[in-house]
């Protein structure tokens, strides 16, 4: 019996590092006044077909689909935004005072070719901010994402683009349809289908996107409306004022159909990431909420692949800083004192101490040897003699003292407080 391909058992050092990242991203989210939301791991397939886009790789190739007992087509969620927006509309969360600021953290699933930084089950942290449409709101979200990578000390660069307003995208799509129609014989079957449905998808296709004629396709900036151009200039100008370095890449369209206007990625520059260098990706969406039956509201968000972040980090440094040391070790010397020993262990744990014990009767020297392996600061020694006298021996690096059982907590508090 083996784990499914593209999945990973997470334990030991990986678990410590993953929890460290989770703590940082959630702390920064709370500092930005975001609230956590949890959505189901599986949803109706329409949630993603309707929003992500039927021509996207996620919907056309990568979703884990299954039929439930009533024949309804369900899917293991491949990304977080669509489910979050479904929840916002279904629960009318938009009726709260705007901006509505939510974050999520949990497993996602895509049937992809497993490789470094890309798994079939992976963990994603993401945010959604429903608010007025503004380049300064876009900048706020980008600064939020940047602060996460800064807190984790990850080398990166920011890439931005604008997918423009509806006028821009309409004119650009027409131009791309005309351009790519000349290259149908050189495009994959998927890209040929996209010519009519959504030609922008061809630009970030994993295979066709690298072909020279795709790289040399018309740029979206050539079709910017006046409003789009002014919006993007304000965003770019403010990021410069905030000291955020960035590159503009007009081929950056992201892989999902719902994006509009601002689109961005943070890419690793450490050299550790290999081909999977995108650490954070996000952008603005204008019609997603209304597609789910909600009002005409704009939103912006981003998502982080936690496993890709893990590949960027110095494990030793994180493990040292998060190392949990057993503070107290209880050495039991007699079968008669086993119950009392376990009672003391439980009492100390309830008081907030990290405590371990041998769980059986051992000789004193063996107990000390086990305590040393755990790196314990204090040993509590208890046997038949101590039981009769109602006390224990408490030994640290400096002294050894008899302490009444009902005074153990006060004594330990004073000792470890010192």
Q: Has residue 271 got a pLDDT over 90?
A: no
Evaluate whether 143 touches 199 at the Cβ level (below 8 Å): no
pLDDT at 240: 94
Give the tens place of pLDDT for each residue, 364-381: 999 999 999 999 999 999
Q: Is the pLDDT of residue 53 over 90?
A: no
Is the Cβ–Cβ distance between 299 and 85 less than 8 Å?
yes
Report whether pLDDT(418) > 60. Answer: no
Does the domain formed by 12-165+225-318 have CATH 3.40.50.920?
no
> pLDDT at position 83, please?
94
Q: Are residues 260 and 200 in contact, defined by beta-carbon separation less than 8 angstroms?
A: no
Determine contact, residues 212/148, Cβ cutoff 8 Å. no
- Mind listing the pLDDT tens digit for each residue in 8-29? 999 999 999 999 999 999 999 9
pLDDT over 90 for what percent of the chain? 63
At 413, phi and psi to the nearest 5?
A: -55, -45
The pLDDT of residue 256 is 62
Q: Inform me whether the pLDDT recorded for 255 exceeds 60.
A: no
Report pLDDT for 273.
62
User: pLDDT per residue over 156-182, tens digit each?
Assistant: 999 999 998 888 888 888 998 899 888
Given a cut of 80, whether residue 60 has pLDDT beyond it is no
Residues of the chain with CATH 3.30.930.10: 12-165+225-318
Q: What is the mean pLDDT of residues 253-269?
A: 82
pLDDT tens digits for 192-246? Answer: 888 887 888 788 777 888 889 988 889 889 999 999 999 999 999 999 999 999 9
Domain at 324-417: CATH code: 3.40.50.800
Residues pairing with 394 in the sheet: 380, 401
pLDDT at 370: 94
What pLDDT was estimated at residue 274? 63
Residues of the chain with CATH 3.40.50.800: 324-417
The average pLDDT across 93-105 equals 92
Q: Give the DSSP per-residue string, 4-64.
A: PTT-----HHHHHHHHHHHHHHHHHHHHTT-EE----SEEETHHHHHHT-TTSHIIIII-E
């Amino acid at each position: 019996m083996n784990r499914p391909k593209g999945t990973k058992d997470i334990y030991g050092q990986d678990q410590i590092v993953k929890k460290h990242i989770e703590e940082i991203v959630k702390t920064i989210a709370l500092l930005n006044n975001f609230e956590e939301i949890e959505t189901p791991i599986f949803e109706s397939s329409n949630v993603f077909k309707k929003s992500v886009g039927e021509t996207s790789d996620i919907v056309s190739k990568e979703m884990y689909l299954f039929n439930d007992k009533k024949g309804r087509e369900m899917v293991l969620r491949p990304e977080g935004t669509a489910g979050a927006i479904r929840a916002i509309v279904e629960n009318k969360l938009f009726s709260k005072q705007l901006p509505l600021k939510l974050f999520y953290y949990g497993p996602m699933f895509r049937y992809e070719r497993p490789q470094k930084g890309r798994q079939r089950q992976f963990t994603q942290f993401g945010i959604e901010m429903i608010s007025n449409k503004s380049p300064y709101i876009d900048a706020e979200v980008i600064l939020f994402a940047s602060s996460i990578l800064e807190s984790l000390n990850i080398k990166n660069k920011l890439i931005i683009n604008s997918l423009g307003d509806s006028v821009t995208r309409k004119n650009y799509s027409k131009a791309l349809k005309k351009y790519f129609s000349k290259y149908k014989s050189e495009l994959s079957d998927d890209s040929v289908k996209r010519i009519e449905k959504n030609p922008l998808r061809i630009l970030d296709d994993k295979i066709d996107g690298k072909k020279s004629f795709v790289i040399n396709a018309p740029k979206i900036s050539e079709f910017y409306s006046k409003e789009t151009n002014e919006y993007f200039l304000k965003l770019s100008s403010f990021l410069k004022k905030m000291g955020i370095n960035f590159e503009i890449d007009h081929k950056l369209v992201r892989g999902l159909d719902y994006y509009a206007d601002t689109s961005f990625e943070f890419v690793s520059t450490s050299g550790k990431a290999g081909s999977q260098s995108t650490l954070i990706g996000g952008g603005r969406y204008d019609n997603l909420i209304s597609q789910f039956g909600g009002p005409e509201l704009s939103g912006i968000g981003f998502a982080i692949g936690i496993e890709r972040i893990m590949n960027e980090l110095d494990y030793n440094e994180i493990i040292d800083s998060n190392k949990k040391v057993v503070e107290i070790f209880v050495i039991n010397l007699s079968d008669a004192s086993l119950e009392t020993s376990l009672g003391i262990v439980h009492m100390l744990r309830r008081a907030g101490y990290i405590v371990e014990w041998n769980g059986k009767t051992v000789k004193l020297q063996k107990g000390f040897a086990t305590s040393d392996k755990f790196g314990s600061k204090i040993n509590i020694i208890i046997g038949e003699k101590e039981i009769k006298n109602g006390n224990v021996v408490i030994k640290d690096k400096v002294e050894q003292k008899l302490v009444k059982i009902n005074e153990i907590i006060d004594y330990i508090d004073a000792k470890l407080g010192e």
